[in-house]
Amino acid sequence: MLEIRNLHARIAEDGTEIIRGLNLTVNKGEVAAIMGPNGSGKSTLSYILAGREDYEVTEGEILLNGESILELDPSERAAKGVFLAFQYPVEIPGVATMQFLKVAMNEQRKARGEAELTTPDFIKRVKAAAEELKINPDMLRRPLNVGFSGGEKKRAEILQMSLLEPSLCVLDETDSGLDIDALKVVADGVNALRSPDRAIIVITHYQRLLDYIVPDTVHVLYKGQIIRSGAKELAHELEANGYAEIIGQAA
């Protein structure tokens, strides 16, 4: 599904290299967790996958189902099924969440060669998905993310994800700011998206989320490289011992 080979990327504005020879493969049906100290490049990697223009890839390859996505702009990547749930979701004043969802879903359907949803069908789907995620329907009338609490923003991200049915989902610290119940609701939402033809990347600092979303693989990102990969036990090891040992071994 996703293959990243020897990726090097820098900040477009000042040329600082953030991703420094990163290799990562995530297969279809797999949930991969990425962990790593603050500032190691996790969010940067997710922005680069989504195609944000603030970063420049200088070397290496990102392949989605065997095809390079580096030349594609963010909307083309979204059409190919790449979905990124941001660490800090953006507020979109003036656009009701419902309206945003409708446009996003229909764009996605157009890209797949499917017909637009009828309004009743759209509303039915949104209501069902919102209920699953325990999102108050009143919230859907408000502008997307504007004035939403931290936890509400995260739920809204998962709502978008479940409606858009992406093939590659990247969740950047979706657990941060969630209360204990919301963490479970959001994790259930993500688990419901597990599918043999979808890959999910979960970026998190804490093992706690991985108790709910049990990953198939765990990768440690440090200074722009994956320095260790393992099974779910690796997350327990990190929780117990921190990063020092692994960083020492990689040096």
Which residues here bind Mg ion, judged by CB under 5 A?
Answer: 42-43, 87
Return the residues of window 199-238 that contact ligand ATP according to CB under 6 A: none
Q: Minimal distance in Å, beta carbon 46 to Mg ion?
A: 8
Task: Tell me: does residue 43 bind ligand ATP (CB under 6 A).
Answer: yes
Pairing of strands 55-64, 2-11: antiparallel
Q: What is d(CA 19, CA 21) in angstroms, rounded to the nearest whole number? A: 6
Q: Minimal distance in Å, beta carbon 127 to Mg ion?
A: 32
Site string for ligand ATP, 84-123 (x = CB under 6 A): ---x------------------------------------
Q: What is d(CA 218, CA 176) in angstroms, rounded to the nearest whole number? A: 18
- Cα Dmax for the chain: 58
**In contact, 118 and 124? CB cutoff 8 Å:** no
Size of the site for ligand ATP (CB under 6 A): 12
Residues 6+ away with beta carbon under 8 Å from 196 = 28, 29
Task: Tell me: does residue 40 bind ligand ATP (CB under 6 A).
Answer: yes
Return the residues of window 53-72 that contact ligand ATP according to CB under 6 A: 54
Q: Minimal distance in Å, beta carbon 10 to Mg ion?
A: 17
Task: Tell me: does residue 18 bind ligand ATP (CB under 6 A).
Answer: yes
Q: Would you list the DSSP string of 137-177? A: GGGGGSEETTT--HHHHHHHHHHHHHHH--SEEEEESTTTT
Give the residues lining the site for ligand ATP (CB under 6 A): 11, 18, 36, 38-44, 54, 87
